[in-house]
């Protein structure tokens, strides 16, 4: 039984999870529900940190079932959390699958970008700016799905050459010998740093607009702000932070600190360049036609999301139908793999909402909210920014923003806040939940999606590595954001 329990996970990990499950029962009956709930949060974060040892859906799921069994929350309340976040779940199910069918187009575009842009610094800035721009108009998770597709595809090209008997650079040495060992490690490091720049870019762009992150929409609705008004309200903080983020990218690439700065090995560039030329020459009429269909789908995606014609998940589903219909993909087994990437993460997110429901039911954040509201009006925005930043890095930024905006809405309706103060606190909540939360993968759904994706093990991206690489960004974005809240808001 122990051998099968959690499969190939290390023995110490299995014993740790069993220890958690036993300790939680003892804690519940001796220390009470509140302290046990905080212990559950710490344990759940541990399962996320060990994502490469065991997918968190399994170990975290056991904890979630136990939280329900101990009545720290109810299935009904967990369902309510899922209901509130249905749009995010639909997005993951359908938008990621829609992007799966665009992979050949993404590979066509990005293989050209990777080989033509010789400067790593220029490439890094391009990734940050593009991700930020797309996240501001589309949404961070969709952009992360594109980044993951590009990363997996590009690694696939490398692996394909690495496991073949080709000599694409005509130097008399088999490419697989040249692409092994140190070259492979450098290539992984190169890809890892680019993808991390990209996901940080999604946070930089996501904070700016009402559509960038799920909580932005909620905050905008509560305050009656439209797209333009939301951007104007936030720009006093988001614009300085964006430029601070770009300066951080330059600094990290120049100094090679925190695991950044690795360049694409020259031998790999040459081999991949020749490989893409051969692939272009080999492309059949059918494949060219499919690229056109995918390009049209990409344009429709941008139009649909920018104009908000429907919930993001619905647009994704429409694009699956459009692409499969016009590319002639009609077999179920051809469509199935498109959903494989995102469904485990979608399931993990539902498990996460059980933990969120527990936080809500046990009022774990209430003392912190009351403490922040008890402060003088002039320092309230700063306190809210700090509290939101810390709690978002621990739990989930959408949940934290939801709890806080509901509390200050209640205070405003009760006449305890002026309209101006209400707006200031809303800005502090939005920026507080979006910026410092890049510190940990559990803070941002996009980061968690990347950590648990099929790309993470390929490029050796663990929880610890992610925290280390995000650390300078978290300090700069969080710090500049705090300064702006204190002195410019």
Compute the residue count for the chain.
489
Query: Is the pLDDT higher at 121 or at 365?
Result: 121
pLDDT of the residue at 420? 94
pLDDT-based confidence at 170, cuts 50/70/90?
Answer: low
* Stronger pLDDT, 318 or 373, i.e. the higher one: 318
Q: At what angle do helices 266-282 and 181-206 cross, to 10 degrees?
A: 80
DSSP helix, strand, coil percent of the chain (3-state; round to 5): 80, 0, 20
More confident residue, 329 or 109: 329
> Residue ranges of the alpha helices (H) in 50-102?
56-69, 75-84, 86-90, 96-100
* Position 175 pLDDT exceeds 70: no
Mean of the per-residue pLDDT values for the chain? Answer: 89
The predicted model gives 423-446 an average pLDDT of 91
Highest mean pLDDT (candidates 15-24, 374-383, 440-449): 15-24
> Has residue 176 got a pLDDT over 80?
no
pLDDT digits (tens, 9 = 90+) for 46-69: 888 888 788 899 999 999 999 999
- Span 234-259, pLDDT tens digits: 999 999 999 999 999 999 999 999 99
Neighbouring CB atoms inside 10 A of 435's CB total 34
Can you tell me the mean pLDDT for 19-48? 94
Instruction: Report the distance separating Cα 148 and Cα 462, nearest Å.
Output: 15
Given a contact cutoff of 8 angstroms between Cβ atoms, the answer to whether 149 and 449 are in contact is no
List, for residues 184-194, the tens digit of each pLDDT value: 899 999 999 99
Reading the block at residue 209, the tokens are 């607009």
Q: Are 149 and 106 in contact (CB under 8 A)?
A: yes
pLDDT for res 208? 92
């Amino acid at each position: 039984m122990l051998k099968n329990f959690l499969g190939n996970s290390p023995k110490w990990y299995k014993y740790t999870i069993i220890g958690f499950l036993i300790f939680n029962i003892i804690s519940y009956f001796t220390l009470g529900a509140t302290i046990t709930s905080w212990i559950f949060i710490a344990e759940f974060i541990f399962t996320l940190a060990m994502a490469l040892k065991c997918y968190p859906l399994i170990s975290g799921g056991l904890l979630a079932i136990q939280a329900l069994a101990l009545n720290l929350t109810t299935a009904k309340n967990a369902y309510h959390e899922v209901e509130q976040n249905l749009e995010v779940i639909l997005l993951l199910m359908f938008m990621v699958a829609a992007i799966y069918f665009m992979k050949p187009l993404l590979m066509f575009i990005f293989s050209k970008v990777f080989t033509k842009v010789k400067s790593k610094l220029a490439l890094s800035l391009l990734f940050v700016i593009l991700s930020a721009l797309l996240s501001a108009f589309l949404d961070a998770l969709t952009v992360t799905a594109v980044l993951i597709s590009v990363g997996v595809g590009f690694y696939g090209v490398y692996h394909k050459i690495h496991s073949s008997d080709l000599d694409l650079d005509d130097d008399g040495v088999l490419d697989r010998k040249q692409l092994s060992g140190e070259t492979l490690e450098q290539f992984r490091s190169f890809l890892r740093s680019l993808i991390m720049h990209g996901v940080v870019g999604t946070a930089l762009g996501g904070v700016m607009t009402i559509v960038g992150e799920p909580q932005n929409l909620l905050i905008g609705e509560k305050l009656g702000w439209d797209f333009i008004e939301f951007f104007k309200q936030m720009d006093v903080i988001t614009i300085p932070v964006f430029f601070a983020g770009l300066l951080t990218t330059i600094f990290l690439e120049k100094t090679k600190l925190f695991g950044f700065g690795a360049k694409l090995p020259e031998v790999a560039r040459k081999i991949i360049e020749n490989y893409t030329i051969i692939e272009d020459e080999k492309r059949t009429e059918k494949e060219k036609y499919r690229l056109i269909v995918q390009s049209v789908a990409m344009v429709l995606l941008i139009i649909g999301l920018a104009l908000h014609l429907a919930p993001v998940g619905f647009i994704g589903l429409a694009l699956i139908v459009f692409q499969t219909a016009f590319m002639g993909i009609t077999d179920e087994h051809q469509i199935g793999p498109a959903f494989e990437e995102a469904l485990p993460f979608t399931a993990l997110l539902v498990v996460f909402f059980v933990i969120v429901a527990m936080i809500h039911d046990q009022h774990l954040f209430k003392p912190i909210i009351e403490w922040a509201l008890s402060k003088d009006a002039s320092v309230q925005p700063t306190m809210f920014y700090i509290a939101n930043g810390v709690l978002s890095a621990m739990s989930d930024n959408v949940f934290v923003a939801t709890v806080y905006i509901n509390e200050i809405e209640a205070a405003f309706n009760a006449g305890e806040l002026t309209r101006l103060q209400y707006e200031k606190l809303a800005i502090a909540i939005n920026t507080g939940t979006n910026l410092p939360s890049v510190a940990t993968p559990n803070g941002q759904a996009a980061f968690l999606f990347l950590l648990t994706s099929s790309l993470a093990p390929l490029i050796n991206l663990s929880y610890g590595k992610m925290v280390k690489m995000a650390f300078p960004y978290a300090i700069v974005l969080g710090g500049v954001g705090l300064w702006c809240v204190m002195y410019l808001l």
